[in-house]
């Protein structure tokens, strides 16, 4: 006989933990089914390990730039002479953070934790192959599927046979590859590629599109390509990997095509970072009446699937592959699971911030200049200021980058920040856009000097100066001055 719950959450990543924990606190009978460990990709193979790796890489880069801070450059070596010292540190950080996601934490909130692999056996019932053996039947009034995503491996000839790593293996490397080939110029490829270049590997990044970071402003792509190349990384855009094999020396070889010509790149390791795919296999979603599209679970504005008793949050619905968006969507699901109209809530995606944690960081909310012009045509204004004009950035020794603001009238359409701590600086604009505040509203707030946040007022100053330079303003003020004098 099936056990009956108010809510069953499938997948213990960011979205699943928020949904299960929240439901438990509210007093609902909730079960969280996870096949492996609580915490998901973000904790074990995503955000946490990558940012830990990036921090160590930044330290290495700072040491190489010691002279600009008034120190002599000294030799930098891995602790105990092994790259494992870096990946061991990553595992230590994961070990500290995973205590926050321990089963006991969520059990105290009121959620039952079940470890095993689930599949739907009807529209409101699952069967779980328990991790420690046996099976369980579980039924619920509502379900939340939050099984996340995993690396997409491109079907390129010879890749599987040649061997490669993804973000699921890269944080456990014991040795630094002398030559690393990175497939993909998105956020993951750029973050990890730059880090390994800074650790001392010779990195070649191959991107099929005509520029890296294709989702960002074109100026960002060009700027970051220059940054990477200045650090020694080879960045090949408009270049397609067509075949892989190993040479007689055991080295990995990729044949690439660019401008109708082919050539080979020899490397010690291949990092595949070309995208991610939703984790839906094995769930038997068809049995539950849940429709998918290219692996993504189809959801409506309320994050309901085609089975209105089943919701999907996080990477698995294909909306956004960000931990903070999984958290946000889980909150929407939690509200919609237990409340009825008009207390239900639609997911709203007009103001979604994100950051790529390269150095300098790339942070964006809203639309780019190109997207704004395509959408609104005339009336779009763009203001841009360099970080080199920010006194704190100069004092920190990080004057690279810029902040770019896109407006229509007084409405902020989008902001892109490329610079030190860009992800932190973006939040002010995210709040402003969410609540309809203008640039003038932000500029009226007093910002501490010297801080990086003064970049906000620098953008406001650009707009103010533009207004003061208008002929009618200067003409009016000239007349006023005659009266005043």
Q: What is the DSSP string of 150-166?
A: EE-----BTHHHH--B-
Per the CB < 8 A criterion, the answer to whether 211 and 222 are in contact is yes
Neighbouring CB atoms inside 10 A of 248's CB total 5
Decide if pLDDT at 485 tops 80.
Answer: no
- The per-residue pLDDT for 320 is 95
Per the CB < 8 A criterion, the answer to whether 3 and 137 are in contact is yes
Mean of the pLDDT values across residues 206-214? 97
CA distance 121 to 138: 10
Q: Which fold has domain 353-468?
A: Enolase-like; domain 1 (3.30.390)
CA distance 356 to 417: 11
Q: Which fold has domain 159-275?
A: FAD/NAD(P)-binding domain (3.50.50)
Q: What does DSSP assign to residue 312?
A: E
Pick from 432, 297, 313, 312: which is nearest to 365 by CA? 432
CA distance 484 to 252: 78
What residue ranges of the chain are covered by domains with CATH 3.30.390.30? 353-468
**Band of residue 172 on the pLDDT scale cut at 50, 70, 90:** very high
Decide if pLDDT at 479 tops 70.
Answer: yes
H or E element that contains 128: strand 125-130
Residues 6+ apart with CB under 8 A from 84: 78, 173, 174, 175
**Band of residue 484 on the pLDDT scale cut at 50, 70, 90:** confident
What residue ranges of the chain are covered by domains with CATH 3.50.50.60? 3-38+102-151+277-338, 159-275
The model's pLDDT over 118-156, given as tens digits with 9 standing for 90+, comes to 999 999 999 999 998 999 999 999 999 999 999 999 999
CA distance 485 to 472: 20
Mean of the pLDDT values across residues 378-405? 96
CA distance 296 to 17: 20
Strands 252-258 and 261-267: antiparallel
CATH architecture of 3-38+102-151+277-338: 3-Layer(bba) Sandwich (3.50)
- The per-residue pLDDT for 119 is 98
Residues 6+ apart with CB under 8 A from 305: 145, 290, 291, 297, 298, 299, 311, 312
- The per-residue pLDDT for 378 is 86
- Alpha carbon separation from 72 to 28, 58, 62, 75 (Å, rounded): 61, 18, 12, 10
Low-confidence winner among 49-58, 249-258, 276-285, 458-467 (lowest mean pLDDT): 458-467
**Band of residue 75 on the pLDDT scale cut at 50, 70, 90:** confident
Decide if pLDDT at 190 tops 70.
Answer: yes
- The per-residue pLDDT for 401 is 97
- Alpha helices by DSSP H, listed for 262-352, are 323-338
- The per-residue pLDDT for 74 is 79
3 state DSSP class of 474: helix
Mean of the pLDDT values across residues 272-287? 97
- The per-residue pLDDT for 125 is 97
Neighbouring CB atoms inside 10 A of 208's CB total 19
- The per-residue pLDDT for 8 is 98
The dihedrals phi and psi of 476, each to the nearest 5 degrees, come to -60, -40
The model's pLDDT over 359-387, given as tens digits with 9 standing for 90+, comes to 999 999 999 999 999 999 889 999 999 99
The model carries a pTM of 0.94
Mean of the pLDDT values across residues 167-196? 97
What is the pLDDT of the chain when averaged over all its residues?
95
């Amino acid at each position: 006989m099936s056990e009956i719950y108010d809510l069953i959450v499938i997948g213990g990543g960011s979205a699943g933990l928020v949904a299960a924990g929240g439901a438990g606190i509210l007093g609902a009978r909730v079960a969280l089914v996870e096949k492996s460990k609580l915490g998901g990709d973000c904790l074990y193979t995503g955000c946490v390990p990558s940012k830990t790796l990036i921090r160590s890489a930044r330290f290495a880069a700072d040491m190489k730039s010691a002279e600009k801070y008034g120190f002599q450059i000294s030799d930098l070596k891995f602790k105990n002479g092994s790259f494992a010292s870096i990946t061991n540190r990553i595992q230590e950080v994961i070990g500290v953070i995973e205590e926050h996601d321990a089963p006991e934490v969520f059990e105290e909130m009121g959620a039952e934790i079940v470890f095993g692999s689930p599949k739907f056996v009807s529209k409101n019932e699952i069967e779980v192959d328990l991790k420690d053996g046996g099976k369980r039947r579980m039924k619920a009034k509502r379900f939340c599927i939050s099984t996340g995503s995993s690396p997409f491996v491109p079907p390129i000839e010879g890749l599987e046979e040649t061997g490669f790593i993804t973000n699921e293996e890269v944080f456990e490397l014991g040795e630094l590859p002398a030559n690393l080939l990175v497939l993909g110029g998105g956020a993951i490829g750029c973050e990890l590629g730059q880090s390994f270049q800074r650790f001392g590997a010779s990195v070649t990044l191959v991107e099929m599109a005509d520029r890296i970071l294709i989702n960002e402003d074109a100026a960002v792509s060009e700027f970051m390509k220059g940054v990477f190349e200045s650090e020694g990384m080879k960045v090949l855009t408009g270049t397609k990997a067509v075949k892989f094999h190993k040479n007689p020396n055991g080295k990995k070889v990729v044949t690439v095509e660019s401008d109708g010509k082919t050539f080979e790149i020899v490397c010690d390791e291949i990092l595949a970072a070309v995208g991610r795919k939703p984790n839906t296999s094995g769930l038997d979603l068809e049995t539950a009446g849940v429709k998918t599209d290219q692996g993504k679970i189809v959801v409506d504005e309320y994050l309901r699937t085609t089975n209105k008793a089943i919701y999907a949050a996080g990477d698995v619905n294909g909306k956004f592959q960000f931990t903070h968006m999984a958290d946000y969507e889980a909150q929407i699901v939690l509200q919609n699971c237990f409340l009825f109209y008009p207390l239900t809530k639609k997911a709203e995606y007009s103001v979604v911030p994100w950051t790529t944690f390269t150095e300098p960081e790339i942070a964006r909310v809203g639309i780019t200049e190109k997207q704004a012009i395509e959408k609104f045509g005339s009336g779009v204004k763009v203001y841009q200021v360099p970080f080199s004009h920010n006194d704190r950035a100069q004092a920190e020794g990080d004057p690279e980058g810029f902040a770019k603001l896109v407006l229509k009238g007084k409405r902020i359409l989008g902001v892109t920040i490329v610079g030190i701590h860009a992800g932190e600086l973006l939040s002010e604009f995210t709040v402003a856009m969410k609540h309809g505040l203008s640039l003038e509203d932000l500029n009226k707030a007093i910002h501490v000097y010297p801080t990086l946040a003064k970049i906000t007022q620098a953008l406001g100053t650009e707009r103010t100066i533009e207004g003061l330079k208008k002929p009618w303003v200067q003409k009016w003020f000239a007349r006023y001055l005659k009266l005043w004098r």
